[in-house]
A and B are shown apart, each in its own frame.
Chain A
Amino acid sequence: MRRRVWSLVLAAPLVMATSLLATNARTFSARAEQTQASSAEVKIDNFSFGPSTLSVAVGTTVTWTNRDDIPHTVVSDDKVFKSKVLDTDEKFSFTFTKPGTYPYFCSVHPKMTGKVVVQ
């Protein structure tokens, strides 16, 4: 799911062009700042998610990176998001657009749990 992150990066110049054409540059710079601020990371190490509880603002894109020698998954308890299996160093990203608490786990090693709190 690295593609999701990339598409965001690739989309930026497009947004800029559209913004410049359609309105003024101020709108874009505000949007760019928001994009800058709204990403967060969860690392998978030693069969655990770190941090196990992550608090973010609405609109944040969270990226999980598997740093173990064993594959893991990131699966929402409530089926809001579900990664494919992540081998070593592979990533999964999801953008949280609604406030709430999102518990998740590794479906391969279900003892591994975490949650994202979106405010």
Chain B
Amino acid sequence: MAAKSKDEILHDHNHDGVDRRGFLKCMAWAGTGALCVMQGGVLKSYSLSKLSDLDQSAVAAGELSFVQISDSHMGFNKPANPDVAGTLKAAVDKVNALEKAPEFLLHTGDISHLSKPEEFDTVDQILKATRKEVFFVPGEHDVLNDDGAQFHERYGKGSKGSGWYSFDKKGVHFVGLVNVMNLKAGGLGTLGHDQLEWLEDDVKHLKSSTPIVVFAHIPLWSVYPEWGWGTEDSAQALAYLKKFGSVTVLNGHIHQTMQKVEGNVTFHTAASTAFPQPQPGKADSPGPMKVPAEQLRSILGITGVNYIRGQHALAVVDSSLA
């Protein structure tokens, strides 16, 4: 792939068992994706150069597969990507090309760039081509100027508070959280007391064997607090999920894929469909990263997630738009 030289994959595998509280971290950078299969708390990760290298039989064997897309930033028109509608369409083509159609899509926020109605309209129109249900959580760009009123009107029907909700699909419990509201000076993303209380109540009746997928815009782990890439009170949220054997956390916001496993929890951030952002601390600011036009699509992408019942496994696959 064109962007191969930019790829950097750091693996630190701990294959020594479920009880190990140690820390496993793998980052998959520009151009490649990673297939991650979690089994009993141990994560196996394979690098992928493209989707076609993936063993599709694993996906076919799954009980449930879905796709995460993120950070469409419709309305962005700066040099880092003057055609964000085009790259979102490319993401939709990728989804439609999957051998096994996903059950649904998750969009982890920053649907729009400036919260303009026409930006949301364009995204809705493009996503229609998937003919799939799409579940949304807001990014900070979706709640500008109106404290999220428009987002709530469009995507938050039936949700609680500022837009959090949960649903079940084929035995997997999905929780959509909102951590982009009421941000405080100097702080990070925030869930807030009301949402945390709701979460505690939402999961307490579930069996500990229920696989949990939590999705929110800003990472629920501390990726790089200096750039605001973390959530103040995420530890409390994760504490409510301790009893579960399999927890997968899907986020966006940082416009690059990154994974981490801590105990029973696998954290994963998705690529943007619009423009890349620099690696933590590798630039003066987290602003849009300009790459040669021919490389752009190789570092934008979508994420497919596959759940295999009885195997306690969620496979997370990133694929680029190239």
Interface stretch of the complex, out of A35-43, A55-63, A69-77:
A69-77
A110 in contact with B115 (CB, 8 Å) = no
Closest 10 CB pairs of A and B: A105-B185, A47-B285, A46-B285, A111-B228, A69-B78, A85-B144, A110-B183, A46-B284, A110-B187, A77-B185
Q: Can you give 15 contacting A-B residue pairs, CB < 8 Å? A: A46-B287, A47-B227, A47-B285, A48-B285, A69-B80, A69-B287, A71-B114, A71-B144, A85-B114, A88-B78, A104-B185, A105-B185, A107-B183, A108-B141, A110-B187
Given A105-B185, A108-B140, A68-B287 contact (CB < 8 Å): yes
A105 in contact with B285 (CB, 8 Å) = no
Cβ of B186 within 8 Å of any chain A Cβ, yes or no, is yes
Binding site for A on B (CB under 8 A): 78-80, 113-115, 140-141, 144-145, 183-188, 226-228, 284-288
> Which residues of chain A (95-119) have a CB below 8 Å from chain B?
103-105, 107-111, 113
Cβ of A84 within 8 Å of any chain B Cβ, yes or no, is yes
B288 in contact with A70 (CB, 8 Å) = yes
Q: How far is the CB of B179 from chain A (nearest CB, A)?
A: 12
Q: How far is the CA of A73 from the CA of B285 in the complex (A)?
A: 16
A110 in contact with B114 (CB, 8 Å) = no
B114 in contact with A103 (CB, 8 Å) = no
Q: How far is the CB of A28 from chain B (nearest CB, A)?
A: 39
Q: Name the residue of chain A whose CB is nearest to the CB of B181.
A: A107
Interface of A is mostly: loop
- The 8 Å CB contact of B184, one of A88, A108, A109, A110, is A110
A110 in contact with B185 (CB, 8 Å) = yes
Interface size on A, residues (CB 8 A): 22
Q: How far is the CB of A108 from chain B (nearest CB, A)?
A: 5
Q: How far is the CA of A6 from the CA of B256 in the complex (A)?
A: 42
B144 in contact with A110 (CB, 8 Å) = no
Q: How far is the CA of A73 from the CA of B144 in the complex (A)?
A: 9
Give every chain B residue within 8 A of A71 (Cβ-Cβ). 113-114, 141, 144
Give every chain A residue within 8 A of B185 (Cβ-Cβ). 77, 103-105, 110, 113
Q: How far is the CA of A93 from the CA of B129 in the complex (A)?
A: 43
Given A108-B141, A109-B228, A110-B185, A69-B288 contact (CB < 8 Å): yes
B184 in contact with A85 (CB, 8 Å) = no
B188 in contact with A85 (CB, 8 Å) = no
Give every chain A residue within 8 A of B78 (Cβ-Cβ). 69, 88
Q: How far is the CB of A20 from chain B (nearest CB, A)?
A: 42
Q: How far is the CA of A111 from the CA of B223 in the complex (A)?
A: 14
Q: How far is the CA of A60 from the CA of B287 in the complex (A)?
A: 31
- Extra A-B contacts (17), CB below 8 Å, given A69-B79, A73-B144, A105-B185: A47-B286, A47-B287, A68-B285, A69-B287, A70-B287, A84-B144, A87-B114, A88-B78, A104-B185, A108-B140, A108-B144, A109-B140, A109-B228, A110-B183, A110-B187, A111-B188, A113-B186
Q: How far is the CA of A53 from the CA of B44 in the complex (A)?
A: 49
Q: How far is the CA of A14 from the CA of B121 in the complex (A)?
A: 45
A84 in contact with B145 (CB, 8 Å) = yes
Give every chain A residue within 8 A of B187 (Cβ-Cβ). 110-111
Residue from A73, A108, A110 having most chain B Cβ neighbours under 10 A: A110
Give every chain B residue within 8 A of A46 (Cβ-Cβ). 284-285, 287
Q: Name the residue of chain B whose CB is nearest to the CB of A109.
A: B228
Give every chain A residue within 8 A of B140 (Cβ-Cβ). 108-109
Give every chain B residue within 8 A of A84 (Cβ-Cβ). 144-145
